[in-house]
Structure formats: structure tokens, C-alpha cells
Homo-oligomer: A and B are copies of this chain.
Amino acid sequence: MAMKSREIRLKNRPVGLPKPGDFEVGTVDLPDPGPGQALVRNLWMSVDPYMRGRMIDRPSYVPPFQIGEALTGGAVGQVVKSNDPSLAEGDLVESFFGWREGFIAPAAMLTKLPKLNAPPQAFLGVLGMPGMTAYGGLLRIGEPKAGDTVFVSGAAGAVGSLVVQIAKIKGCNVIATAGSDEKVAWVKSLGADHVVNYKTCGNLLAALAQGAPKGVNVYFDNVGGDHLEAALELMALKGRIVLCGGISVYNAETPAPGPRNYLNIVGKNLRMEGFVVSTFENMREPFLKDMSDWIGAGKIKWEETVKDGVENAPQAFVDLFTGANTGKMLVKLA
């Protein structure tokens, strides 16, 4: 008998903040895998802020999601049946076939998880895309030097919390923002030197400046908006802005104004650089080695916020934008 898989489809394109009603659950039958294919049961799936962009119908580096079709995203699962010599039943694999309980795919589109001392879902977080985003973005674009001040916005998120810790490993003074006192306490426990609750601090620029008496050398931006403007004021000469995302503006119904003070980039000789994580593909080996060494040495910690069941994936995704998660937001599928 065919295995059944529930999956989440885009019902309509969200306007502003996404709602669970923008999504719907469907069910498909999964037959036996054909030659070269494998049948996989997903264990975990990832929801990530960047997916918001794919819900808009516009040209981008990845094509937009289509109405009525299942969404995609990072997932880890276990091979149930394999019709390819490279995979055996029970193998743990990473794929881009998230938002569903199971799937059939060519073995070539599946990556066996490396044998590292970490639970499978870590390959959706610290050892996966968010980890690579933090590692590649900070080290290759930010180029932090020991003694530099690094400012990380959204520091209680999956990416931000890793940037904080990698910057500390590199000997930097780290200032950060987060959206609740609990998150602030957690980010401090990760080693950040000065952490601001941006919802209660009043003047964000003044609150941040206290932790950066010599200015900011590297700003890792996950937030945009007032955070980016404050950073542009605080940047030291020849600083680097790692433009990772702008969660504060992803849901704007009309385009939000860009940073009014962007000409600081001229006067202070700044570099602002964006990236998509695939840019760092050639850093995969040092990334996995460094990260697993650091995890082994107790230098990298992480948290997970977990929802159960594919039917709750839309709520998990929506919750990203209200700050309901600390660390990596995950959906447990089996």
C-alpha cells in the first residue's frame, strides 16, 4: 500500500504579515521509488525568514512559490525504500523537500548527513543553512579582526545567535539586539558583551552606542529598518556591513524606505555586501570542521523552538515574524 504524505501548499500570496490561512494542507500518495530514486520520511523541517520572499511573485535568485503547489525548504529525513545503490533504508538524508511528511526523489538530490556528533535536526540549524549563513557571512564578508566591535541584530535567532558566538571565538567585542528580556539574557549567556532589548530600550542608537565606544567595525544585519540606520551612524571608518536579511521589512505592504543615512557608506568608506548562502558552498569543509570542533569544545551552543506536525508548519513560519522563536524554529514531522 502506498505511503501517504501530508504537505503544505500555498493557498494565496500573503499580504503583509502571513497568516496560517494563507496555507492549506493537502495529501498525496507516495508509490514505490523508481530506478535511481528513494522514498524518504521526513523527521524535521525548517522554516526560515527568507521563505517570505519566495511567496511574492517576482523574479529572484530562486523562483517564487506557486499557488496550489507544495512549498519547499530544508528538511532531514530517513530513507524508507531505496532504488539506488548510493542509499540504504535507514540512511539519514538532508534535502530541500520540506513542508511535507515524505517524498520520492532522485538519490542525486539527497545528501547523506555527515557522521558528526549532533542530532539530525542540527543539520537544519547550526550545521546547516543557518550555520553556513552565519559562518560565511561573518568570516568572508565581515572579515572580523580580534578587537573589532561586531554588531549583530536579531541575535536570538538561528543565524544571529551563531554570529554572536563565532565573533566571540574570533576575539571581538560583540553588541547585539534581541526582542525580549529572556532573549537578551540568553544572548548574553552566549558571550555577547552588550545586548539591547530593542522593544524597550527607547533610543536604539544611544543604547547601542554604549557598547561601541570606538564604533562598529562589522554589522551583521538580519533586521533592516531602524537597526540598519543605527548601524550606519555607529560604523567606524572602513567598516563592513554584512547584509543577511531584513526581517523588519519583509512584510511591508508598500516598500519600506531604505536607510535615510546610507551616504555614510561614502563618507566612512564602508562596504555593504549581500549574499545568498550558496555563495559559500566552497567553504563547506572548513565550516563543518570548525563548527563540529567548536561544538565539541563547548564554544557553540544553540536552542530550538519546536512545533509538532506538518499541519503546524504554517503557524511556525508566521511565528518567525512575531519573534516567537528563540534560536532555530523547527517543525518535528516524525
Contact = CB atoms under 8 A, between A and B. Distances in A.
B273 A245 contact: no
A246 B274 contact: no
21 contacts: A53-B267, A61-B237, A61-B268, A243-B263, A245-B263, A255-B260, A255-B261, A256-B260, A258-B259, A262-B262, A264-B274, A266-B274, A267-B274, A267-B276, A268-B274, A269-B276, A271-B271, A271-B273, A271-B274, A272-B272, A272-B273
Interface residues of A, number: 33
Contacts of A275: 266, 269
Contacts of A270: 273-274
Interface in A223-275: 224, 237, 243-246, 249, 255-275
Main secondary structure of the interface of A (DSSP, over half): loop
A279 interface: yes
A60 interface: yes
A245 to B, nearest CB: 6
A61 to B, nearest CB: 5
Nearest to A62: B267
A273 B262 CA distance: 11
A66 B262 CA distance: 25
A244 to B, nearest CB: 7
A274 B243 CA distance: 15
Contacts of A260: 255-258
Given A256-B260, A257-B260, A274 B265 contact: yes
Given A259-B262, A269-B275, A270-B274, 13 more contacts: A53-B267, A60-B267, A61-B267, A243-B263, A249-B263, A258-B258, A258-B259, A258-B260, A258-B262, A262-B262, A263-B274, A266-B274, A270-B273
Nearest to A53: B267
A265 B270 CA distance: 15
Please indicate which of the listed interface residues A258, A261, A272 has the most CB atoms of chain B within 10 Å of its own CB. A258
A61 B85 CA distance: 63
Nearest to A262: B258
